[in-house]
Chains A and B, each alone.
Chain A
Amino acid sequence: MKALAIEAARFSRRNTLSAIGGLVGLLIVFTAVAAPFLAPRDPLKADFRRMNKPPDAQSLLGTDQVGRDTLSRVIYGARTSLFVAFSAVILGTTVGSLWGVACGYLRGRFDLVSQRIMEIMQSFPDLILAMAISMAIGTGLPAVIFAIAITRIPFGGRVIRSVALSVREMPYVEAGRASGASALRVMTFHVLPQCIAPYLVLATTHLGVAIVIEAALGFLGVGVPPPTPTWGNMLADSITGLVPPWWLAFFPGLAITVTVLAFNLLGDGIRDTLDPRLSPAFLRMMTGGRRA
């Protein structure tokens, strides 16, 4: 525990901005988790006496067309949006990474076919693929998570694959193989640990992307269905009539921006720390370049 604290302190000193990002991110996560306690009102409760009120003492961020409190909805929106983003990134990156380990270690036909499949997956622009999938399997929360997760798989796959490729040549891995351990054992105990650092970098880098995709899906009307508040939904719902109430259009977008910013900064710092080599080639792969 103490060692972790020391590491964190050292990290913060060297990457102040990133640490701030991490702190903000933590705050947002905390808000999301503690939503029921922090939100002043039930986000789903309509109050017909206070419809369309601008920000005032009673509703700090105003109310919407049926009198629901915007602040509460933004807080609960954090809950949904973060839950979707975290789940999708963890699911997608994990599946992709495991797949990548298998590819990198086993090579051969499995690798070849897998590469083609991943390439096919990456041939679709993110949002379009997520849109089609989530519309195909229904528009519930799990569907959206699943759809976004699928778009993250190939990234994890390619990066971890190249890590596995290089790790596999290392002497201790060879030793493991020579001692007669099964491929599965070698992959699990020798290759996998080496992948944790890049995995972390991947996950934090893609968190922001996942949040934006989820919001875009909500904005286009094909994301998590109402009345569950998500930041994207709220933006879409705000465009009613000629000039929408500014507070409905502004705050959810601001929330998205701050959150993505925080996680991006954090991701930058983690990447700088965990991977000092930071060659452009590696960088490219992180952000999804095509050359493995």
Chain B
Amino acid sequence: MRKYLVRRAGYAAITLLGVSLSVFVILRILPGDPLVAILGAEGHAQMKPADRARIMADLGLSDPLPVQYVRWLGDIAAGRLGKSFFRGDTVAEQILHRGPISAEIGVLALIVSWLVGLPVGILSAFKPNSMPDALARALSVTFIAIPGFWLGMLIVLALLFWFGYKAPIVIVHFWANPWQNLQIVVGPAMVLGLAQGAYIARMSRSCMLEVIGEDFVRTARAKGLREWLVVMRHALPNALLPVITISGVLLGFVLGGSVAVEQAFGVPGLGRALVTAVIERDIIVVQNLVLLYAVIFVGVNVLVDLSYAWLDPRIRYG
């Protein structure tokens, strides 16, 4: 087990290095002059080449690329997550301020997906091809197909149009004002959670069905144990395993999808900060936020792999 742990961590480290390199390379090719956003249209128009050189140098944009890359890595290692080119806000502050909202959305979505998806999938497997099953499957397939940001758009419009309701505009953290905070996160969390839940329902249903047909279950049934007991004790653990695994994948779906969904709901989360930074060509912010997302993703997947490995006796004792 320890050997596996070390190996896995090593791989993760290499992956992260590769990720950082990819992010850096991709972003340096972006077209557009960041100085326009900084100086404003009129200021930029009046700029002379000498001024431009001096400003770029001040912002560290004119050093050779490898130097910039190494300096960036060093900054991150030292915990200096950089400042926005604009306004001098630090990325760390942004993450601390907006991160909790986005994290809340992610966690809530995950909880919703499990709370909705698992029961639906299990119950469907119980009575395959019945009416409720068909309904559940139809809903699952539909929720997977509906784009989250469209659903979000429609919900916001409906709430505004019919109830004149608008969620709070400023970030309110959960510990400050739970009610307002929930109003901000519930929309995106539901939309993302239901879509994830649909995947989980399908996955758990098919895994359960598979196991239910297996020998050992038939044996248990033959022994006269009650149906649901059979299922819960024997089939369920098998269904849970792939669900855990797929949650890792779904996290990527949530992290990516949350960007568009945050935009649709107008939630001032980290995803929106990222989109704005990409559009403004705020290079340091984009680099560090994308790296953050990748780190989270890799981290969660390492955890998933580890939990899987822990549950798989071959690896645990091998």
Contacts and interface: CB of A to CB of B under 8 A. Distances in A.
A132 B26 contact: yes
B119 interface: no
Contact of A264 (B145, B160, B245, B304): B145
Contacts of B210: 278-280
B246 interface: yes
B191 to A, nearest CB: 13
Main secondary structure of the interface of B (DSSP, over half): helix
B215 to A, nearest CB: 16
A244 B274 CA distance: 26
A74 B125 CA distance: 39
A131 interface: yes
Contacts of B253: 125-126
Contacts of A117: 18
B195 to A, nearest CB: 10
Interface stretch (B36-44, B87-95, B290-298): B290-298
11 contacts: A116-B14, A116-B18, A126-B252, A132-B23, A132-B290, A135-B278, A136-B29, A222-B278, A256-B147, A261-B145, A288-B252
Interface string A213-254: 001100111100000000000010001001110100110010
A290 interface: yes
Given A120-B15, A291-B305, A284 B297 contact: no
Interface in B223-274: 241-242, 245-246, 248-249, 252-253, 255-257, 259-260, 263-264, 274
Given A132-B290, A290-B248, A127 B256 contact: yes
Given A221-B279, A253-B147, A123 B26 contact: no
Contacts of A235: 149-150, 153
Contacts of A222: 275, 278-279
B84 interface: no
Interface string A111-134: 000001101101111111001110
Contacts of A123: 15-16, 19, 294, 297-298
Interface residues of A, number: 53
Contact of A261 (B141, B245, B286, B304): B141
Contact of B206 (A120, A221, A278): A278
B257 A127 contact: yes
B5 interface: no
B118 interface: no
B235 to A, nearest CB: 12
B30 A291 contact: no
Main secondary structure of the interface of A (DSSP, over half): helix
A289 interface: yes
Contacts of B318: none
A62 B154 CA distance: 18
A250 B154 contact: yes
B161 interface: yes
Given A127-B260, A136-B26, 8 more contacts: A120-B15, A136-B29, A220-B260, A243-B160, A256-B150, A260-B146, A287-B246, A291-B305
Contacts of B123: none
A291 B245 CA distance: 9
A185 to B, nearest CB: 33
A279 B207 CA distance: 8
B115 interface: no
Instruction: Choose among A219, A235, A239, A256 the residue with the greatest number of B CB atoms under 10 Å from its CB.
Output: A219
Contact of A120 (B22, B144, B290): B22
Nearest to A290: B301
Contacts of B286: 132
A138 interface: yes
B183 interface: no
Contacts of B85: none
A182 interface: no
B157 interface: yes
Contacts of A278: 206, 210
A221 B276 CA distance: 11
A15 to B, nearest CB: 13
Given A136-B27, A222-B278, A261 B246 contact: no
B31 interface: yes
B81 interface: no
Contacts of A260: 144-147
B219 interface: no
B126 interface: no
B120 interface: no
